[in-house]
Structure 1
Amino acid sequence: MIELFADDAFEFLKSVPPFQYATEDELQKIIQSLSIELHQKDILILQQGGEPNKYLRVIKKGSVKVFIKTDEGIEIITDYRGKGDLVGYLSILTEDKARASVITLEETLFLLIPKKLIKDLIEKNTSIRDFFNSTFIKKYIDKPVREMDVKRLMSIGSDKLLFTTTTGELASKGVISTFQDVSIKESADIMSRNKVSSLVIIDNNAVPVGVVTDSDFREKVVAKGKDYNDNISSIMSINLIKSDAKEYCFEALLKMIRHNIHHLIVVDDGKIKGIITNHDLMMLQGISPINIARDIEGQYSVEGLIPVSKKTNTIISLLIKEGVKASSIAKIITELNDRLVKKIIEFAERKFGKPPVSYCGIVFGSEGRKEQTLRTDQDNAIIIEDYDSTKDEKTIKDYFTVFSEFIKTSLLKCGFPLCLANYMASNPLWRQPLNVWKKIFPRLDNKSD
């Protein structure tokens, strides 16, 4: 490694995403820590399965080929990169072995930026974090998946099966069911004899109308002293959440997180094919997002949420290691983050009491688009119900002032940085009655069917 002329490196990096978003002080820190590598043609820079990267490489001159070898020894080219492109970021993010091999196609000069410095930049600079969150990760995670046969790519370990196995393949066959006019006691006997934790309730035409689980017996029968001779329909959950047999288990997982359920009925062409449970999905993956969602729901304070929120980063790293598409990662992370935000809002209402008027919290940016992967900054607002002169305006404003400040502080504790542009509900400009929002965004007047 040799010293690079600082002025040349400074001007070059200013033109390269994401360093064009760095401040002058940040660029100077990079320059002070910078080193270089010069390699001739056909030199292997990174080896698939090799040690985690200690540096982010920026190509100053030359070009490289990025490729993956399958278990069958087939070489699949996933990318070509040239001047200004980056090499090695995913290994830095996941702290894991290199996912692909990189070889020079000609004499190539790399600028090497230490891993710690890159992580500090991502932590402190929102624009750089957003670049890696959207543009970079989507490009360099999704492309290899598109180029390779998904089944072969993900056959490296059983924890990838969540993204390659359909719910129809996993669903337990021979679903245990009973009619809706059967008693609670008879239904419990059926579940006990068949050693199942759920029971599908059907009507006289054998169409599913509900489901009963172990927890329904505990919470609706035992805890409330309900008569065992009542019909099972009196305690069944009628909001049936179903999964199509052709959906991947990943989609089923999202539904369980979103609806806070642990069983899904699997249907094929409208007919019951089977049932899958939270436990079934957990068997496919060592670290389950369902567990994190459950941990979030089980907390009673913001302090309890802090360690749980950190587990999300573990999920991101795991999914990237598995070669999962960025769009799939984003859906899972957004669901978990939505769950965390709702929990914080629940804490806020418990702390400050019932809101004086109805309201709606909204989010913008990557969370609003359901594109979150890395932890992005806070972008949110509150739409307050319109109120007339019979309401105390000062009481309403005072309530939502402390309410939104609590949410901002709590999200910060859980790892969501503040928005530097102050697009947050704690800013009075982003905490307005509905009639004000309609003037700002006229399209709010358009009512959908």
Structure 2
Amino acid sequence: MVNSSDVFTAQAAELVPFLEKTLPFSDLPEAELNALASECAIDFYPKGTRLLTQNETIIEDVLVVRSGAIKLTLIQDQGEEKPIDYRGEGQAVGALGAIRDAPASLSAETIEDTFCFKIPAVLFRKVVAAHPALAQYYLHSFSESYIAKAFSELRRQHADLCATSPLYLFASRVGDIVKRAPMMIANGRSIREAAQIMNNKNIGSLLVTDPSGEATGIVTDKDLRRAVAEGESTDAPVEFIMSSPLATVPHREPCFDALLKMMSAQIHHLAVTRHGEVQGMITSHDIMLIQGRSPVSLFREIMTVRDIAGLYPLSQKVPVTVGSLIEEGAKAGNITRMITVMNDLILEKLLNMLQDEMGPPPVPFCWILMGSEGRKEQTFHTDQDNALVYRDPVGEDEARAAKDYFARFTEAAIAHLVQCGYPLCPGEMMASNPKWRQPFTICRDYFERMILRPEPAEVLNATIFFDFRPGYGQLSLGQSLRKHVTLHAARESVFLRYLAKDCMTARTPLSFFRGFIVEKNGEHKDRLDLKKSGLVPFVDFGRLFALKHKITETNTLDRLELLKERGHVAPDLIVEAVEAYEFLMQLRLVHQMTQINNGQQPDNHVNPADLSDLEKQTLKEAFGVIGGLQSFTKDVFRLNVG
């Protein structure tokens, strides 16, 4: 320790600005920051100074690093000290011991000349008692309150990306916009009577009830038009033309979720239920009225296109339509879900029209979506990753016909998707590649071989293929393949161990001193890759443990929640992982939206210098969670043994 002459009182003029941009002190009122600064000192510690000794040192001061670096170590059973963390500028040493009024839980030593602000432990405890959020910050490595602040700052700083008028898709509940009680008609009544009621009441739908009075279906003005066009007798019972079962949504659901449900099912009416009873009806038009620029308008454009070329410009409207959700308060999971719905609609429309041009296929097929498409995690920059599986042909003639048809079909489909703005996969993992266009049995056997004889290249392929979901066509083919692969993989411990080892290869872009490691030169100089360095480890972890525990879900956030619900992974670790993943994805989406608005091609490379202090700190915490996931993986698969 240095002589007392080396210690001098920290001037508030220097300390206050420093704490104002340092978590968690940045959350304190200015008056309290000034009061805190007046009682702090600054001290210098040469390289190699022992600051704390585990289980021995009584915490008298909390040290906040002004410059330099400190190594934290843990004394193991054999007496060996193992480095477990490094603290750099703005980070604290001794906070937990001060909060608990207990001896140091770790040892600490400077690894370079270091200046620290010293906050007396007694004073620190008083501040913590008055502001519990400070204790939460130090007691939880990834605090929900600071994640929320980081999300708010992202929205505030990048509000120009979004519509200037307030949006209500997330604030409004469907029950709040129901205008009237639902109008009903009993089954057995005629189509003519239904039309008369709808005309007299000036409404666009009627619920059809069974003898007990329960609503079992719906008749809309579209159903009436179709009945007339098809020559249906107006004396026929109304249930002849109704849609059943009735699509419903609970009254407390956000309007956003109701909108997604309507768009995914390609319907325009939902019955709103309260305690199991139908309260009223909500339409896509109702949702359009509560906000200015609705995704419904793009949905309608997609659905009314009459030729494939008409789809080409529509994918370019997705960022404009979906970007406004950022300001509304949507987290990344909601935004990517909306992007996925839009892209799925474009794909479905394209493949329908392509079949109209080419005629029906010789055998049923399923278009398979892989990678981020399969996980429903598409952003504004997504390559194509797809495949096609078709029913096993019967006989050589049917096999030849299927091979020829699907070769032409997939080549045309992929070319049209490129015109729609979805780039080719550099690795040719697309349905136009004969390898990824096969009968069901061949696809099934290929996945089995990948699992039974895992090679490094196959493990790389597995990170793309094992996230697949059925996207179009005879979905049961894709669902059967999904179930088979999931159950088969869970039984093969060698294959899972290969995947687990692959999870350990990720290196977070943080130095020992928790500085960002960025590209030193090249096209992305001074930037870091949010996808490769940040998001991929979470995706890999979710996939690995989903396969291990026979979970067929492919979305990363859904996988993590199911792992928590079923008790396979500690809840605290999952909560941290979900928060970290959401923040990284949010940062990625905002970055890409900014590039699009600036006329640039969206990518995943962010310059940390462009981030606020809060965003930088939250990003570091998000990267830090990856270590916890890797430690858990290492323990479960015993990767430190042989």
TM-score interval (norm. to shorter): 0.5 to 0.7
**1:212-263 Cα distance to aligned partner (Å, 9 max, x none):** 111111111x223333222222221123111011111111101110111111
Aligned pair partner of 2:380 in 354, 358, 374:
374
Instruction: Write the distance in 1 (CA, Å) between the matches of 2:356 and 2:22.
Output: 56
**Offset of residue 394 of structure 1:** 3.3
Instruction: Write the distance in 2 (CA, Å) between the matches of 1:382 and 1:299.
Output: 25
**Structure 2 residue aligned with 1:215:** 222
CA RMSD of aligned residues (A): 3.5
The 5-angstrom pairing of residues 231-270 of structure 1 reads 231-270=237-276
Q: 1:357 to 1:160 in 2, by over 3 A?
A: same
Mapped contact 1:142–1:325 kept (Cα < 8 A): no
**SS where residue 168 of structure 2 aligns?**
helix
**SS where residue 243 of structure 1 aligns?**
strand
Please tell me the residue identity of whatever aligns with 1:254. Answer: L
Establish whether residue 426 from structure 1 lines up as the match of residue 443 from structure 2.
no
Unaligned runs of 5+ in 2: 1-13, 25-88, 92-143, 452-480, 488-551, 553-642
The 5-angstrom pairing of residues 20-419 of structure 1 reads 143-144=148-149, 159-220=166-227, 222-419=228-425
**Offset of residue 323 of structure 1:** 3.1
**1:302-346 Cα distance to aligned partner (Å, 9 max, x none):** 210012221111113211233321111111110110111111211
**Offset of residue 300 of structure 1:** 2.3
Q: 1:335 to 1:142 in 2, by over 3 A?
A: farther
**1:169-194 Cα distance to aligned partner (Å, 9 max, x none):** 11223211121122222222222222
Instruction: Write the distance in 1 (CA, Å) between the matches of 2:407 and 2:396.
Output: 20
Q: Which stretch of the first structure deviates more once superposed, 276-285 or 169-178?
A: 169-178
Q: 1:105 to 1:355 in 2, by over 3 A?
A: same
Q: Which stretch of the first structure deviates more once superposed, 282-291 or 326-335?
A: 282-291
Mapped contact 1:145–1:325 kept (Cα < 8 A): no
Q: 1:395 to 1:146 in 2, by over 3 A?
A: same
Instruction: Write the distance in 1 (CA, Å) between the matches of 2:424 and 2:376.
Output: 19
Q: Which stretch of the first structure deviates more once superposed, 225-234 or 310-319?
A: 225-234
Please tell me the residue identity of whatever aligns with 1:408. Answer: I
**SS where residue 441 of structure 1 aligns?**
helix
Mapped contact 1:184–1:229 kept (Cα < 8 A): yes
Please tell me the residue identity of whatever aligns with 2:206. Answer: L
Q: 1:233 to 1:388 in 2, by over 3 A?
A: closer
Please tell me the residue identity of whatever aligns with 1:213. Answer: T
Q: 1:447 to 1:335 in 2, by over 3 A?
A: same
Please tell me the residue identity of whatever aligns with 2:193. Answer: E
**Offset of residue 392 of structure 1:** 4.3
Instruction: Write the distance in 2 (CA, Å) between the matches of 1:311 and 1:361.
Output: 24
**SS where residue 276 of structure 1 aligns?**
strand
The 5-angstrom pairing of residues 4-15 of structure 1 reads none
Please tell me the residue identity of whatever aligns with 2:220. Answer: T
Mapped contact 2:322–2:338 kept (Cα < 8 A): no
**Offset of residue 205 of structure 1:** 1.3
Higher helix share: 2
**SS where residue 368 of structure 2 aligns?**
strand
Instruction: Write the distance in 1 (CA, Å) between the matches of 2:150 and 2:220.
Output: 38
**SS where residue 395 of structure 2 aligns?**
coil
Q: 1:417 to 1:446 in 2, by over 3 A?
A: closer
Mapped contact 1:242–1:267 kept (Cα < 8 A): yes
Q: 1:325 to 1:256 in 2, by over 3 A?
A: same
Please tell me the residue identity of whatever aligns with 1:185. Answer: R
Mapped contact 1:163–1:248 kept (Cα < 8 A): yes
Instruction: Write the distance in 2 (CA, Å) between the matches of 1:413 and 1:160.
Output: 32
Mapped contact 1:159–1:284 kept (Cα < 8 A): no
**1:96-119 Cα distance to aligned partner (Å, 9 max, x none):** xxxxxxxx989xxxxxxxxxxxxx
Instruction: Write the distance in 1 (CA, Å) between the matches of 2:167 and 2:17.
Output: 32
Please tell me the residue identity of whatever aligns with 2:186. Answer: F
Mapped contact 2:167–2:291 kept (Cα < 8 A): yes
Q: 1:143 to 1:420 in 2, by over 3 A?
A: farther
Instruction: Write the distance in 2 (CA, Å) between the matches of 1:144 and 1:206.
Output: 49
**SS where residue 377 of structure 1 aligns?**
coil
Q: 1:402 to 1:171 in 2, by over 3 A?
A: same
**Offset of residue 142 of structure 1:** 7.2
Unaligned runs of 5+ in 1: 1-39, 45-62, 68-103, 107-138
**SS where residue 344 of structure 2 aligns?**
helix
Instruction: Write the distance in 1 (CA, Å) between the matches of 2:424 and 2:195.
Output: 51
**SS where residue 397 of structure 2 aligns?**
coil
- TM-score normalised to structure 2 length: 0.46
- TM-score normalised to structure 1 length: 0.64
Mapped contact 1:158–1:284 kept (Cα < 8 A): no
**Offset of residue 299 of structure 1:** 1.3
Instruction: Write the distance in 2 (CA, Å) between the matches of 1:282 and 1:186.
Output: 30
**Offset of residue 447 of structure 1:** 9.2
Mapped contact 1:358–1:385 kept (Cα < 8 A): yes
Please tell me the residue identity of whatever aligns with 2:258. Answer: A
Q: Which stretch of the first structure deviates more once superposed, 206-215 or 173-182?
A: 173-182
Mapped contact 1:145–1:324 kept (Cα < 8 A): no
**Offset of residue 363 of structure 1:** 0.6
**SS where residue 160 of structure 1 aligns?**
coil
Instruction: Write the distance in 2 (CA, Å) between the matches of 1:404 and 1:64.
Output: 54
Q: 1:265 to 1:392 in 2, by over 3 A?
A: closer
Runs of 4+, deviation exceeding 6 Å: 40-44, 145-148, 446-449
**1:416-436 Cα distance to aligned partner (Å, 9 max, x none):** 011111111111111111111
Q: 1:388 to 1:181 in 2, by over 3 A?
A: closer
Q: 1:399 to 1:224 in 2, by over 3 A?
A: closer
Instruction: Write the distance in 1 (CA, Å) between the matches of 2:329 and 2:216.
Output: 39
**1:98-143 Cα distance to aligned partner (Å, 9 max, x none):** xxxxxx989xxxxxxxxxxxxxxxxxxxxxxxxxxxxxxxx9x974
Instruction: Write the distance in 1 (CA, Å) between the matches of 2:282 and 2:190.
Output: 25
Mapped contact 1:178–1:201 kept (Cα < 8 A): yes
Please tell me the residue identity of whatever aligns with 2:444. Answer: K
